Structure formats: C-alpha cells, structure tokens
Structure 1
Amino acid sequence: MTTRRFALTPAAFAAALLVAGTAFAQDGAPATDDSAVPTVVISASADASAQGLPAAYAGGQVARGGRLGLLGNVDIMDTPFNSTNYTHALIQDQQARSVADVVQNDPSVRVARGFGNYQELYMIRGFAVGSDDTAYNGLYGLLPRQFVATELVERVEVLRGAHSFINGAAPAGGSIGGSINLLPKRAPNQDLSEVTLGAETGGQGYGAIDLGRRFGPEGRAGVRVNVAHRKGDTAVDREGRELSVYSLGVDYRGRGFRLSADIGAQDHELTNARPSVTLGATTPMIAAPSADRNFAQPWTISEERHTFGTVRAEVDLAGGAVAWAALGARSGQEYNILSSITVNNANGDGTMTRFDNIRKDQVRTGEVGVRGALRTGFIKHMLSASASGFHSESRNAYALSDFAGFSSNVYTPRDVAAPSSSFFTGGDMGSPLVTSKAILSSLAIADTLSLLDDTVLVNLGLRHQRIKDFGYDYGTGLENSAYEASENTPFAAVVYKLRKDLSVYANYSEGLQRGAVASGDQIVNQGQVFAPYVSRQREAGVKFDSGRYGLSAAVFSTSQPSAYVQNRVFGVFGEQRNRGLELSVFGNPVRGLRVLGGLTLIDAEQRVTAGGINQGKDAIGVPETQLNIGADWDVPGVQGLALNARTVYTATQYADGANTQKLPSWTRVDLGATYRTSFMDRDLTLRARVDNVADKNYWASAGGYPGSGYLVLAAPRTVAVSATVGF
C-alpha cells in the first residue's frame, strides 16, 4: 500500500491563509445524501478544532499535551518546551478558586501581586506574568485583569520560557518566563448537571451551577452554562470578598467545519483587603505578622467588572489542511480606594496614604491561520501560518492624599478616617480620558520537519511583529508620547526521540515585550512610554514517558532588560539574567496513587545595574529553590475516598536590589480529601481542604513589578468544604 502525499505549494499555502481570513464555515466535501456520510464522533473540544482536547495523562491531573499557538495541540513528547497542562479534575478536587490556586502546584511558578493593587501575578522562572497577559483559548487580553475565577476554565496550560513566536507579544509586556493559556468549558458527550454548595473559613459562602448538553443529530451542537457566586468574609480578619461569575459556551461540529463561541462576565469586589507592605530603603527585614492580621484601612475597596466574548471557526481544506479564524473582545472597569503601608523601622511602624483610581478598558483581538502537511523527498513538513491583531484602549484617572500620610503599624494597626484624596490628581475620576492605546499586529510562519521515521522533529519559525504604543495626558487627553516599532522574532528547536518513551530537545526563542510605562510614587516622568525590548532564551531538556508516569528535566538561560526608578525617574537602565534547572514528575506510578510536583533551581542575577552598584547581586523576588511535592491517594477498603497532600517550599529571596532585605524561606503544607458516593440515586461528591495546615506566618513573595520589592503576607489556615450533586 502506498502512502498518499499531499503537495502544498507556496502559492497554495498563501491562498489557504487568505481563505482562513474569509471563510467562517464551509463543508470540506461536495454535498451528498446524509445516509452516505459517515457518523461524526463527537469529542468535546475547547477550541473548535478537529484535534479536540489532548487526552488526560494517567492519574487525570494533567493532560498529554497542550496548545502551542499556531502549531496547534502538541503532545508533551513532541513539544520542544517544558510545559504542564492542568485538568478540570485537579481544579475541582483541590477546590481551586482562581488560576493562582491552580499554578500553586507548579514548581516553576510562584504567585505574587501587582504593584499597588490586588492583581494576581505569576512568577514563572523568576519573571512576572500578569493576569492580563494570560491567554484565553490562545487570545490575549480577554480575561478579567486582576482575578480569574476557575469556573470560567476547563484547563490551565503553563508553557515555560520566552516564546513570543508562539503566540505573539503579550499586550502587557509579560511572557518572558513563560505564559498561561486557559481553555474554556464545552459540553461533554454525556449530559452534565451539577450543583455545588460550599463554605470557607471566615464565613465565605459558595454556590455554583454547571450545565452541559449536546443537541441535534449525533450531538453535533453543544451548550455549556456556568454560574457561580461567592460572598462573605475571608480567613483574614475583617476582609470581605464577593464574586459573581457567568459564562456560556456553545459549539457546533459540522461536516468539514467546527464553530465555537463564548461569552462571560465576572464581577469581583474586595472590601478591607489586606494591602502589600513596602519597606523603607534603610529598613531591615521585619518578621511577618500573624497571617490573619489585617492592616487595611476600613474604607478601602477594590471593584472590577468585566464582560468578554469570543468566536472561533475551523474549516477543513482540500488535502487535509485546516484554516481557522478567531475574534474576541472585552469591556472592563475597575475602581479602587487603596492604602498600602511603608514600614520605617523594625518595630513595624509606618505611614499610609490614600490612592484612588478608576480604569476602563476596551479590547479587540483576533487571529487567522492555516496549517497543512506536505512531503519533500524523505522529509515530512507541517507548515503553519497565522496573522494576528490586538487593539486596546484604556481610560484612567487617579487621586492621592497628602504625601505625608498618616501613621500605622503592621503588628498593631490603627484605623483612621478616610483622608481627602484631592491633594494630587490626574484626570477626572468621574469621566476619565483615554490615557493609553496599544495596537499590536504580527505575521508568523512555521515549519515542523519530521525526519528518520519521525524520530527527529525540527521546528523553524519566524514572526514579524509590529507594536504601536500611544500615551496621553491624564488631564487634557492630548498625546504626549508615542512610538511605532517592529521586530522579527525567530524560533528554532529540535526534538530527538531516542526511544518511544524518551526524548531530548533544545530550543532558541525570544520574548518581545511592549515597552514599560513609567509609574510609581512621586516619579517625574509618570506615564512615559518606552520602546519595546527583546529577551533571549536558550533551553535544553529531556522527557521520559512510561505511560503511567512522566519525568522531565530542563536547563535554561534567559536575559531581559530591566526597568526601575532612579532619582525619581523611571527607566530601562539594566539587565537581568535568569538561569536554572527544572525537574518535574507527574502521573500514576502505582495503582491508587497520583503524584505531581518537582524542583526548580534559579540563579537570577542583576548583570547590568545603575552605576554598577548592585551588579552581580540577586534579582528582587526570585528564590533560588522552589520545591513542590503533591500526592493523591485512594484509601484502600473505602470506595470513593481519596486523600491528598501538597508541600510547597520556597527558599529565601530579596526585597531590594542591594540584597540587604532578605525574606526567610518558607514551607507550607496543604491537606485535602474527596469522597465520591451516591445519595438518593444521585452522584454526590464531598470535598474538604485545609491550606496552610500549620497556620504559618510568612512573607509569601517580594516584588513582581520592576525595581519594587513590596511584600505580600501569606494567607492564614483556610478550611474549605463543598458538596457537588449531579442530576
């Protein structure tokens, strides 16, 4: 039997790319009588692709593969990166509230916080990735900016390393150490009807509904609805949280085409939320207060409301090629009354000020692409091409109280009446003007070459990216800074399969960042926009897949220009280099036991600093050792009962570039249990979890924003229980 070869000429490939931009749905074959058409096997897919979701790995906590941008879904053994793809089963059993709770399982990731707010910030390989740089089904900028509820997602895919070629430049300048892609929920093949009720320490109540149905001949059409609400106090004294989440996902799998669409909304409100802590320049490191202590002022509040939607289509072309198109948009609004503390001595005395701000965002984004195979002699090719665009517009205004502030203490907080915030203002809080606009566009082409009976995979690619950035005066709305720049981002990688269960890989990749925007307390160039800059990465690794458990090891080196404040001027003055080793384990090594974890060692060095003062010292907020050990055990003799435990260790790190303010290392232990049974002929799942079992007091992170080493206090012991009933 001969193998049919598909010859895709450059002209045909270019034509197919154009088709991807214009075709939204079409049959891949001439019309025939329905009785002659083979039955379509429906496999729920988050991205309207023929590939569907990669299967779960043994143990069900991670998946066998994940999305690599224009390359599509790729198996872990064929991926020239180190990545982990966390499943919905893990999210449910750990009662994860947000994406931050999920990535706590990752030894290469630590969770920090945005500068002066409560934004979840993910430190991947020691570099910050903000929640607004998190992708939703491959598109940036669509998700809520500060907090992303897990009710919106089916999987959390963590791809480590700089890879602007894969998805394009992240709109907020992250993705140097890696990226996070969230996959939306889709209706499964079997009817899904679940109601969950739960409660947490502090009196936080929780309720959620998850419904999924497939309709029509062969179940081609699917609908998935999720509604969730949280409300009440948290484990931190006097801190309140209210969250409302709504999402609708629909999909249709036709003959020769696939469609999907999502719409979602999230309202999130924090009251008296505990702020970050900044140490004065000469203040020594202070001991962490009690983990349940709250030094927030009672009049502080943080509110965000976001609505977003996406639509995606994939069309089968002649010869087995596929074309796709996707569009998305988000409208968001945030309002904050904040007050953080700057500690001035070892006794915890400090000053606080009031900072109000309002922000409104409008985002539009999209991509088109095509992917097809061809053969040249003994070499197989998988060619991919894509075009993407991103447009965002932000309206901002702020107001501050007297810079002298008022006194308080992190150990014995003192509440004061809310001071006036009219001392220093920028823009109109009632009607903010446009203060920034960004337009990103790119064209990418890639070729994955398969040689020697598919034992060698060579990946080559190039993305041409253009960034336009505009800054506007807060008070007048007049343009005060702008730039337009373009950059070619190359990518090269090789995977060599030594055996079916063992592969090695190496890659060279780059990260392209939007230029930083000058911000910070009392700086003289507030709002100045800087030109984009490039980070360069080299990585090599090895992967082993026994079929029941997997192991991986990777070494990497990434350099990044760094920005910070010097003499009240914010600028790009230096360079940071992070080098490290990653070891990971996952799967089901013995019956009834699931494991997940690993070790990451990082050497984060300030290679170029202002005046050479801190040259050679450790970068802010990057621990040298990060260790995660997780296990989930089915209890023998008790059907349906599983116990789980997770230990997270983080070594010492510094809160200042001079390395004089050193955070102690910390270890946290989390325990949980899941019991699956039936009640009145209904499926019933009971879950219980205790995070920070020992109720340890520690500083969880330092910094995350360039040149700033603000501290975030760990959450206290938190107990969460829930019951899920299936109908």
Structure 2
Amino acid sequence: MSFSAKCRRPFGLALLASASLLALSSAPVSAQETTKSQKPDEQAVKLAPITIEGQAQNEAGDPTPSVYAGGQVASGGRAGVLGNKDVLDTAINSSAYTEKLIKDQQADTIADVVDNDPGVITSYSYGGSGDRYMIRGFVLDGDDVSLDGLYGTAPRQLVDVSMYDRVEVTKGASGFLNGMSPGGSGIGGSINLVPKRATDTPITSLTTTYGMDSEVGTHLDVGRRFGKDKQFGIRANLKYANGNTAIDDEQRETVAGALSFDYRGDDTRITIDSGHNEKNIDHSRTSITLNSALTSIPDAPSASHNFNADGTWADLQDDFIQGRVEHDFNENVMGYIALGTRHMEESGIYSTSRIDGTDGTMSYSSSYIVRNDTTNTAMGGARIKFDTLDVSHELNVGASGMWNKSHQAWAFGTAPRATGNIYGETPSSFPPLGTPSGNLGDPTLRNTTTVSSLFIADTASFLDDRLHITAGIRHQTVQTTTFSLADGSQSANQKVDEDSPMVGIVANVTEQVSVYANYTEALSVGQTAPFSGVSNPGEQLDPYVSKQYEVGTKADFGTFGGSIALFQIEEPSAFVRNGTYVADGTQRNRGLEFQVFGEPVTGTRILGGVTLYDAKLTDLNNAADEGNTPIGVPDYIAKLGVEYDLPFVKGATINARVVHTGSQYANTANSLEIPSWTRLDLGARYETDIRTYPVTLRANVENVTNNDYWASANGGYLTMGAPLTAKLSLTVDF
C-alpha cells in the first residue's frame, strides 16, 4: 500500500438513521437548562428513586448525584462497585464534570474537559493522535477509560464528549473500586463516562459549531420519555464536523452518534447504551521523540507550526453497545448485571519524528500500523442493606470479567531516516516500508487478555451515619497470551492472580465538613510498549501490584466547596532505555492536592486548584538515576477558571481560565527538561430567547496569547501545546 492511499470506512448508518428518525418524529418542545437565577435547592426535581437536576441524567439504580451550585460539577459520582455517592460520603477524591461545562467550554474530547482538573496533565499517545492523561503523576491511557462503570466498551484514543452527560475523574488507585483496567494503566486515577439519557423535560437541541481554522460542525440532541408514568426513555445524539484545525495543514473529521434507551419501573431498571465514535485525521501534529545524545531540548517552534511530515493520516473507529439490568428484590436487596461489547478498528500512516540536535535538526522514520480489537465485558452482583445492633451495613458482592482479542500488523520504514528541522521544512516523502510484521490487509492475532475478579465489600455506618468504614477485597486474575505475527504460534503466556484489599474511613465532622483516609492495592496488566521507536513494539510487560495511602478533608458550604488531600502511590516504573521499553525500579509519588468549585457569590463561579508533587524513582538497576524525578511529573500544577455573569447585560457571561504547569524532565537521568508554561483561555456566552426558542451563543479562545510551549514530557516524548484557537457555537433549543 502506498503512503498516500487511504480508505474511509462507513460509519454506523443504522445508529445515525435512528437518531434522525427520532428527531423528525418528535414534536418541538421548549427545553432550557436550569437558569442561573435559581437557588440550588429550587433546581432539583425529585422523582423517587431517581434524582434529576437541570439536565442531570439517570443512572440505573442509584440516585444520580445532583448538579452542584454553578452547574459545572456534580455533588458526587460513581464510586465503582459502591455505586453513586455524595462527595462528602466517600473515602476517595473525585470530580464529576457536567454536560453544562462541556457545552459552555465547547469541549471536543476528554482532554478538553480534564483541563479543568488540577490533578491531570494531558498529552498525546506515543507517535499518534490519541489522548493520554497523567493523573497524580501516573499514566492513564485512552484504552482504560470506563463507560457507565464498565471497562472495555468506551471508545479509545479520541472520545467525542458531546455524546456524554458527565466526565467523572477519580483520583488515586481504584483497582478495588473499578477492577483492573484493560491496558493496565490508571494507577493514579480513573475516568468514567456517563452516557446521556432522556430527562423528564423533552430535549430537542441543535448546535452549529466553528473552530479555527475552518472546522465546521453540527450536533443534534433529541430526548423523550414515554409511557403512562414516563417509564421509557430514548436519547439520541448525532454529530458531524470537518475542516482544518488551528495547526498548519492539520485536518480532522468527526462522525459520532449515540443512542440510549432506559426503563425505570417500580422495582426494575434497564439501560441500553450504544454509540459510534469515528475520528479521521490528516497530517496530525503528533508527539515527538528525543535523540538520547541530546544535551538540551530546543525551544518549542511557533505554536501553529506543524513539524510532522506530510502524508500522515489516521482513521480511528469504535462501535459499542452495553446494557445494564437492576432489580430490587425487596427494599434491602438489589441485584444487577451489566454486559457490553466493543469493536475497534484503527489504521494509519505515522511518522516517528525525532529531535536530533539542539538547533532543531530532526529525522523522520515511518510506519504503517493496523489494529482491530474486540472486547467483551460483564459484571454482576448484589447490594444488600442490613443492621446489626446500632450499626447499618451496605454489603456489595459480585464478579466481573473482560475478554479482549487484539489483531495487529505493522511495517516500519527502512534506513536512512528522512531529515528536516523543527523550525523549518519537513520532508514530503518517507523512506520505503520494510517487510511487514503480520498481514496488513488482514491483521493477525497478536495477543489475548482475560481479566476476571470476585469482590466483596462492607460499608458500616456508625453514630447516626456520621462515621462510615468501608473494608473490601477483590481477588483478581489476569492472563495474557502473545502470538507471533510471523507464524501465529504462541510466544508468551502469563497468568497472575492477586488479592487487592481496600480500607476507607469517612467521618462527617459537621454537616459541611468530612475527613477521610484510605489504603488500597491493585493488580494491573503490564504496560504495553509503543508500536514504533523501540526494539520491542507492542510487547506487554509483566503484571504488577500498586499501593496507595491517602488522607484528606472535604467541605461543602452549600454554594461552594473544596477538598485537600495528601497521597502516596507506588508502582513499578516503565520507560524506554537504550531503545527498549523496560520495567525497572519503582516510581513513588507523594503529593498534596487542593481543589475548589461552586458559586461562592451569586453570578460568580470558580473551578480549579493546585497539586504539589514530590516524586522519585527508587530501586533502579541503574544507580546513577536513583532518586531522580520520574519522567513527565512536574513539581506543581495550578489551574483556575472563573465565570462572571454581567449584571448590566441580562444573559451574558464572561469567563477566564489560567493553566500553569511546572517544568518536567524528559528522561530518567534528569538531564533533559522542558520549562514551565502558562496558558490563558478567555470566553463569553449570551443566552436569550428568539420567538420563544432559547438560544445560546458561545465564543471561546484558547491560548489567547498564542504562547508556544512544550506541554508534556509524558513517556519521554514531547507533546506541544495547541496554538491560539477560537471556537464559536450557536445552540437553539426547540
């Protein structure tokens, strides 16, 4: 196959047709977000056993935590197998970012949403265009995002968040709460996506968007409830966008659709969520590697400059469906089962760009990579409530399993590498491809992964429910089998099982303040080597166990709140050494987190915080690196966003956000470093009615000063910050 050849796959026509038919058959009904003038206690509409506030959605079984004052975050979120919990009642630190925030900030991907979180740094995957996150200084790969509490079904790489109601970020090791992630990352935290579902207020919303340089899109959102008691709900979303981004000569196409059904009966609840997520990217400015002989890292080029080689492209497509059934056997016993499947297809022509000289001299290799994955996942269990003397208990028992088959093939460019300069011209052609590994037209089975677990936990509540102690254990088993791409023979087989305990305690000191502590362990699938730039592409390292200690305090003063947390997490470190991806020693991260949110003054909203890190590498085979700072972990991160409703223009709001990240090392020797950086984002929106239809005009400008900077050294390669990017959108609710 030539480097310029590319085949676009048809997207989920049936799903998109269903969304269109639903929109055409629905009568226009006016629907608005909760207005800012309402008080928090006036916003909630309660329908037992489900809580809805504004456009908050229904998750089966547990009352959905309501939207908090200001509308940007929720008052709680999913605590894994423990269900939906209020922030003050859990021994973990978490944030749930709402659909309102996603709309108002015109967020496209998960990375855009978690840019609000002071504990998260975003970057690209190795040599590719997928999002990668660093939470509490540890990597969370795109493979390891969960969907409605279930691993294995969420789209990977680039997730279009317009399909989702909330993005929930849980800080710290969550192996007991969520089980083992598919790719083995997420030791520092996890991300869960909450699907959009029908609300009691009918929804018919049409949004048109524009993004620099010429990216134009349309998003249709339709939701209805049916039945005598509105027990049936359908929500459909459809989005298409295409055009050039603010990065020179980079073009992106998005095709996304989601269709959700739910039933809420007196004692039974059912949800079915399906979706299609497709991203097609031409000439993406991907991450960039570093020559091991470098003595310093050159300054970042112009913010909009595309230093990647021309002719690269990537097609990323995910299709998924999952369902959940919950039944109340009586007022004390609830049983549930969840099943899901996802099929993923990815292919692309990639350029592995490498900085070779301090003057910006670069060299380029090439690769053609094809990957198809099929993942099936299941979870079932029961939640049982009972009392012993003056102690109330909530017992959670269950089992989960996940089965993944990954078919892969690749071919790498031959020597010599093409040359260029990061500040100037880039090559227009690549070295020819070498002999493929596997069948590029029909990818060969590369590995299978089976993850299973049994769990039990008891939350005991004392002193009129002011003291909660949770103790649990999850027995986890992971088996990975690797096959040769040359002849299909088995080349490796690993099976490990481990008991992962968790203990947490929460004390409600007052109605507004709680203190908590937790200890947890987690078994994880071994990290996977990058597919290019190393001598062992795609190799999966041995499974490992991580440990976390955490103490903290949380406060909720009605209209604003916050949290402070101290933590320590340890896991085996993995990085590229002498061209090979290896596990060596231990990464120990200690930190202090401070976070604030809410509307402390009517009309003024705040969201942000600070995270301070003390991170070290220990027990390394290379004594010279002992005690050094891990790759990509800064000394601190600070983020603060402020919204202000203009008193002299009804319906007008202005906003600003500042993101500041400390310097980061790009190698374990700590000899290569990227400087600290600051980004300023500004925006405004205006809400009004036109002929009785609510209309919202939004405008946001990211990186207003067009600052050029290296945003992340995560993984030992560099991700550059986006240039000045203006976004406009017009939403009409019918």
Calculate the TM-score normalised by the size of structure 1.
Answer: 0.92
- Equivalent position to 2:669, from 643, 649, 658: 658
User: Structure 2: how far apart are the matches of 1:671 and 1:345?
Assistant: 36
Q: Does 1:686 align with 2:691?
A: no
User: Structure 2: how far apart are the matches of 1:516 and 1:41?
Assistant: 41
SS at match of 1:613: helix
Alignment-derived partner of residue 269 in structure 1 = 280
TM-superposition CA deviations, 1:430-482 (whole Å, max 9, x none): 11110011000001001001011111110100000010101011121111001
User: Structure 1: how far apart are the matches of 2:158 and 2:538?
Assistant: 24
Alignment-derived partner of residue 345 in structure 1 = 357
SS at match of 1:89: helix
SS at match of 1:154: strand
Kept after mapping to 1: 8 A contact 2:419/2:427: no
- Equivalent position to 1:410, from 419, 422, 429: 422
Kept after mapping to 2: 8 A contact 1:48/1:251: no
- Equivalent position to 2:307, from 273, 295, 302: 295
Q: Does 1:649 align with 2:656?
A: no
Alignment-derived partner of residue 175 in structure 2 = 164
Alignment-derived partner of residue 31 in structure 1 = none
Alignment-derived partner of residue 543 in structure 1 = 554
Kept after mapping to 2: 8 A contact 1:402/1:424: no
Of 570-579 and 460-469, the range deviating more from structure 2: 570-579
Q: CA deviation at 1:580?
A: 0.3
Cα pair distance change 1:352/1:569, threshold 3 Å? closer
Correspondence 1:16-95 to 2 at 5 A: 48-95=59-106
- Equivalent position to 1:489, from 471, 490, 500: 500
Cα pair distance change 1:292/1:565, threshold 3 Å? closer
Kept after mapping to 2: 8 A contact 1:48/1:259: no
SS at match of 1:426: coil
Q: Does 1:178 align with 2:185?
A: no
Kept after mapping to 1: 8 A contact 2:119/2:610: yes
Of 374-383 and 315-324, the range deviating more from structure 2: 315-324
Q: Does 1:626 align with 2:659?
A: no
User: Structure 2: how far apart are the matches of 1:220 and 1:42?
Assistant: 11
* Structure 1 runs not aligned, ≥5 long: 1-38
SS at match of 1:445: strand
Alignment-derived partner of residue 573 in structure 1 = 584
Q: Does 1:121 align with 2:132?
A: yes
Q: CA deviation at 1:425?
A: 2.3
- Equivalent position to 1:336, from 348, 361, 371: 348
Kept after mapping to 2: 8 A contact 1:48/1:314: no
Cα pair distance change 1:107/1:527, threshold 3 Å? closer
User: Structure 1: how far apart are the matches of 2:191 and 2:147?
Assistant: 9
Aligned partner of 2:151: which letter? Y
Correspondence 1:262-661 to 2 at 5 A: 262-283=273-294, 284-421=296-433, 423-519=434-530, 521=532, 523-661=534-672
Q: CA deviation at 1:216?
A: 1.0
Alignment-derived partner of residue 7 in structure 1 = none
User: Structure 1: how far apart are the matches of 2:310 and 2:70?
Assistant: 45
SS at match of 2:229: helix
Kept after mapping to 2: 8 A contact 1:47/1:312: no
User: Structure 2: how far apart are the matches of 1:521 and 1:310?
Assistant: 33
User: Structure 2: how far apart are the matches of 1:144 and 1:551?
Assistant: 31
Aligned partner of 2:725: which letter? T
Aligned partner of 1:303: which letter? D
Q: CA deviation at 1:529?
A: 3.5
Q: Does 1:722 align with 2:733?
A: no
Alignment-derived partner of residue 135 in structure 1 = 146
Cα pair distance change 1:272/1:670, threshold 3 Å? same
User: Structure 2: how far apart are the matches of 1:147 and 1:684?
Assistant: 29
- Equivalent position to 2:268, from 250, 257, 262: 257
Q: CA deviation at 1:344?
A: 1.3
SS at match of 2:622: helix
TM-superposition CA deviations, 1:592-631 (whole Å, max 9, x none): 1111110000111111223212111111001111001111
Q: CA deviation at 1:298?
A: 2.0
SS at match of 1:102: helix
Aligned partner of 2:385: which letter? A
Q: CA deviation at 1:417?
A: 2.4
Q: CA deviation at 1:683?
A: 0.8
* Structure 2 runs not aligned, ≥5 long: 1-46
User: Structure 2: how far apart are the matches of 1:517 and 1:219?
Assistant: 47
TM-superposition CA deviations, 1:642-672 (whole Å, max 9, x none): 1111100001111111111111111101011
Cα pair distance change 1:566/1:686, threshold 3 Å? closer
- Equivalent position to 2:719, from 712, 717, 723: 712
Cα pair distance change 1:528/1:266, threshold 3 Å? closer
Aligned partner of 2:119: which letter? S
Cα pair distance change 1:522/1:343, threshold 3 Å? closer
User: Structure 2: how far apart are the matches of 1:536 and 1:213?
Assistant: 45
Kept after mapping to 2: 8 A contact 1:43/1:189: no
Alignment-derived partner of residue 15 in structure 2 = none
Alignment-derived partner of residue 247 in structure 1 = 258
Kept after mapping to 1: 8 A contact 2:515/2:553: yes
Q: CA deviation at 1:538?
A: 0.2
User: Structure 1: how far apart are the matches of 2:50 and 2:293?
Assistant: 63
SS at match of 1:425: coil
Kept after mapping to 2: 8 A contact 1:398/1:429: yes
User: Structure 2: how far apart are the matches of 1:691 and 1:510?
Assistant: 39
Tell me the matched-pair count: 684
Kept after mapping to 1: 8 A contact 2:50/2:64: no
Cα pair distance change 1:107/1:377, threshold 3 Å? same
User: Structure 2: how far apart are the matches of 1:414 and 1:178?
Assistant: 38
Calculate the TM-score normalised by the size of structure 2.
Answer: 0.91
Alignment-derived partner of residue 110 in structure 2 = 99
Kept after mapping to 1: 8 A contact 2:125/2:287: no
SS at match of 1:218: coil
Q: CA deviation at 1:115?
A: 1.3
Cα pair distance change 1:566/1:726, threshold 3 Å? closer
Aligned partner of 2:355: which letter? V
Kept after mapping to 1: 8 A contact 2:555/2:561: yes
TM-superposition CA deviations, 1:331-372 (whole Å, max 9, x none): 110001001221111110111011110000101001001102
Aligned partner of 2:699: which letter? A
User: Structure 2: how far apart are the matches of 1:249 and 1:351?
Assistant: 47
User: Structure 2: how far apart are the matches of 1:566 and 1:620?
Assistant: 12
Aligned partner of 2:158: which letter? F
Aligned partner of 1:181: which letter? N
User: Structure 2: how far apart are the matches of 1:188 and 1:527?
Assistant: 43
Aligned partner of 1:182: which letter? L
Q: CA deviation at 1:295?
A: 1.5
SS at match of 1:431: coil
Correspondence 1:225-240 to 2 at 5 A: 225-240=236-251
Q: Does 1:220 align with 2:231?
A: yes
Kept after mapping to 2: 8 A contact 1:48/1:258: no
User: Structure 2: how far apart are the matches of 1:127 and 1:638?
Assistant: 44
Q: CA deviation at 1:564?
A: 2.8
Correspondence 1:666-677 to 2 at 5 A: 666-677=677-688
User: Structure 1: how far apart are the matches of 2:293 and 2:49?
Assistant: 66
Of 97-106 and 316-325, the range deviating more from structure 2: 316-325
Aligned partner of 2:518: which letter? N
Kept after mapping to 2: 8 A contact 1:49/1:314: yes
Q: Does 1:144 align with 2:155?
A: yes
Kept after mapping to 2: 8 A contact 1:43/1:188: no
RMSD in angstroms over aligned alpha carbons?
1.5
